[in-house]
Structure 1
Amino acid sequence: MSLTIHATAIALNGQGVVIIGPSGSGKSALALQLMAFGAQLIADDQVVLASDGPDLIAACPSHITGLIEARHVGILNADPAPPTRVVIAVDLGQTEPDRVPEHKTVTWLNHKVPLLWGEKNPNFAVALLQMLKVGRSLR
């Protein structure tokens, strides 16, 4: 079973991040920032999610593999990442009101994924990179 969602996804060190949010919220821009630090593009605009045992996998529809839109620049080529296990979801349509937020999740295909709200956070990309490198405190 699979599900195609309006999202962008990147991979870093075998870990996938799915970025959701309304049109124009900065999904591709966040992906480009993360790619500048070494992440690879899984998919832009459409992400195919599939259940693989205990894992949720993000992949790209074949017709858009290796392509990402940079607003006011155009469609750019990118080194595509293979299908990757999703470890974090980001919602750019939600602003995090708490300085140290409670842990949230989103469920896709019966898989709970840690969820971060990232709207209007100028340091979000670097904080997300640090989280991907060494995790998030359980406190």
Structure 2
Amino acid sequence: MSGSDLNLHASAVVLQGRGLLIQGASGSGKSGLALSLMAHGAQLVSDDRTILTRDAGGVWMSAPAPIAGMIEARGIGLIRADCAPHAPLHAMVDLDHEERDRLPPNREISILGYSVPLLFNVSSPYFPASLVQFLKGGRRA
């Protein structure tokens, strides 16, 4: 890794060229949310460890080689998954913070010098579907 790389304890998926970084404490549901998003059409980038690399076009996500193409399914074990070798970071979900607002403010987080939308966890069965639609179409400012 170069000085413009980060290795995070996070999972990542991509849908229609827009990558979503899923961050949270151990046991917070990163892999479970990634699996739900994959069931809705997203593709795995990495599970549990994600390498972020900055270049002139933004921040790119990838998996460390030993875990590429693998995701943990609680109660089943490590399972294989088609994975994207890398994806541009479009937004981040923080599973450690619960969204309390019905219509939350637009939040951003700076990662390696680039600002991306920051979303908080929503305790709802349609949260993964909402994230899929967010990745497809964004949201109104």
What is the TM-score when the length of structure 1 is the normalising length? 0.95
Aligned pair count reads: 138
Kindly indicate whether the alpha-carbon contact (under 8 Å) linking 1:40 and 1:79 is maintained by their aligned counterparts in 2. Answer: yes
Q: Percent identity?
A: 44
Q: What amino acid maps onto 1:26 in structure 2?
A: G
Kindly indicate whether the alpha-carbon contact (under 8 Å) linking 1:91 and 1:119 is maintained by their aligned counterparts in 2. Answer: no
Q: Secondary structure at the match of 1:94?
A: strand
What is the TM-score when the length of structure 2 is the normalising length? 0.94
Are residue 67 (structure 1) and residue 70 (structure 2) matched? yes
- 1:52 deviates by 1.3
C-alpha distance after superposition, 1:71-104 (max 9, x if no partner): 1110010001121101010011111111100011
Q: What amino acid maps onto 1:130 in structure 2?
A: Q
What pairs up with 1:1-139 in 2 under 5 angstroms?
1-138=4-141
* Whole-Å separation in 1 of the counterparts to 2:124 and 2:49: 24
CA RMSD, 1 decimal: 1.0
Structure 2 residues without counterparts, runs of 5 or longer = none
Q: Secondary structure at the match of 2:98?
A: coil
Structure 1 residues without counterparts, runs of 5 or longer = none
